[in-house]
Amino acid sequence: MSKKLPPLNPLKVFDAVVRTQNLTKAAQELRISQSAVSKQLNVLQTYLGVELFRRERHGISLTHAGQRYAEAVTPAFERLSQATEDLMRAGSDNTLRIQTYTTFAAKWLIPRLSDFNSRHPEITVKITNSVANVDFDRDDVDLAIQMGNGAWARQDSDFLFEDIIEPVCGPEFLRQHAPDARYPQALLRVRLLVSHFRRHDWSTWARLCRYGDEIAQTEQMRFSSSILTWQAAADNLGIAIGQTALLGDDLKKHKLVAPFNLPVKTGLSYYLVRPQLQRHSRKVEIFRSWIAGQLELLQEPTPS
C-alpha cells in the first residue's frame, strides 16, 4: 500500500512559514515571492481539506489543526535536513579511507606515505585491508586499490601498473642450490613457497616459461599471504613467485634476487578505484594526483 504524502513543495513552504511565523521572512528564506508562498499554502490546505492558518491583523497564526500538523512536519524536516547533512559530510572530512590488500599496503603504499604526509599534512590516511573487491555501498572507504581489468560496475578506475610475476629467492639460497647462476632451474626442484591468494602464480609462470616439468613434483610450503611468502624466501626457506612492482626495494637491496630474469605478465593490473557517482572531493583528487606522481618517479631512469 502506497504512503499518503502531500505535495512536497507546498509542505516545504509550510515548514518555512511555521518556523519564521512570517510570510515575508519565509519568502526571503525560500527566495520566492510572498504571493508564491500564499499560493503554495493554499495548495496544501486544498489538498488536506483543512484550514492550517488564520489571517489576522498583523499577519497569520496557526489554527489548532495547523499546530498539530506543524508538530509532526517540523521535526520530520529537521531529521531530513540532518540526515542529508550527515550523508554529504561523510566524504568531505579530512580523513581519506583507502581499501587495499595487506601486501600492497606493506610493500608499496606505506613506504611512500611519508611523502604524501609531508606534502598534505591536513589529510589523514586510513588504510583498511581486504582481499575482496571494493563495494562502495558496503565498505566505508573513499578509494580502493585492487587488481583486475579495470572494468567494475558503477566505478571509475585509474590504471597504476601491470601485474608482473617472476621467481625470487634469497642470495644464500641461490648460492647453495644453484652455484652456477647460468642454470637456475635447479632451484625449482628444492622447495616452492606458495601464497594462498596467489596459489596459481607458479603454474602460470611455469607454463609460460616452459618449466612445468621442473615444478611438477617439487615440495611446497604454503603461507597465508604473499608478504609472508616473500619473507620466507628472503630467509632462504625456498623460492617464491614475486610481484616485481612490489619488490623493487627488496631486489635493489639484494634481500631478494630474481635468478631467472623471466618476468611474466598475468593479464591483470592494479587500479585506483573510486565510485562513479561521487561529489567532487578535494582529498580524493589530491591523492590521485600524488599517486600519479609516484608512478612517474618509477619511470625515471636510475642514476648510474
Per-residue pLDDT reduced to its tens digit, 15-43: 999 999 899 999 999 999 999 999 999 99
Per-residue pLDDT reduced to its tens digit, 155-200: 999 999 999 999 999 999 999 999 998 899 999 999 999 999 999 9
Question: Does residue 136 register a pLDDT over 60?
Answer: yes
- Reported as a pLDDT band with limits 50, 70 and 90, residue 280 is confident
Mean pLDDT of 257-261: 97
Question: Does residue 304 register a pLDDT over 50?
Answer: no
> What are 167's three cell numbers?
621467481
- Reported as a pLDDT band with limits 50, 70 and 90, residue 90 is low
Per-residue pLDDT reduced to its tens digit, 71-82: 999 999 999 888
Cα distance between residue 202 and residue 73, in whole Å:
65
Per-residue pLDDT reduced to its tens digit, 221-252: 999 999 999 999 999 999 999 999 999 999 99
Q: Are 146 and 134 in contact (CB under 8 A)?
A: yes
> What are 99's three cell numbers?
581499501
Q: Are 218 and 188 in contact (CB under 8 A)?
A: yes
Cα distance between residue 288 and residue 24, in whole Å:
48
pTM for the full model? 0.75
- For 8-90, the fitting CATH number among 1.10.760.10, 1.10.10.10, 3.40.50.300, 3.90.320.10 is 1.10.10.10
- For 163-267, the fitting CATH number among 3.40.190.10, 3.20.20.70, 2.30.110.10, 3.40.50.720 is 3.40.190.10
SS3 (DSSP) at 289: helix
Report the DSSP pairing between strands 264-275 and 143-148. Answer: antiparallel
- Reported as a pLDDT band with limits 50, 70 and 90, residue 303 is very low
Question: Does residue 93 register a pLDDT over 70?
Answer: yes
DSSP string, 174-204: HHHH-SSTT-GGGGGGT-EEEEGGGTTHHHH
Residues 249, 253, 254, 256: is their CA dihedral positive or negative? negative
Domain span(s) for CATH 3.40.190.10 in the chain: 95-161+268-299, 163-267
Per-residue pLDDT reduced to its tens digit, 101-112: 999 999 999 999
Cα distance between residue 71 and residue 196, in whole Å:
60
Q: Which of 242, 241, 189, 245 is nearest to 218 (CA)?
A: 189
SS3 (DSSP) at 162: strand
- For 95-161+268-299, the fitting CATH number among 3.20.20.80, 3.40.190.10, 3.40.50.300, 3.40.50.1440 is 3.40.190.10
SS3 (DSSP) at 220: strand
Mean pLDDT over all residues of the chain? 92
Domain span(s) for CATH 1.10.10.10 in the chain: 8-90
> What is the amino acid identity at position 1?
M
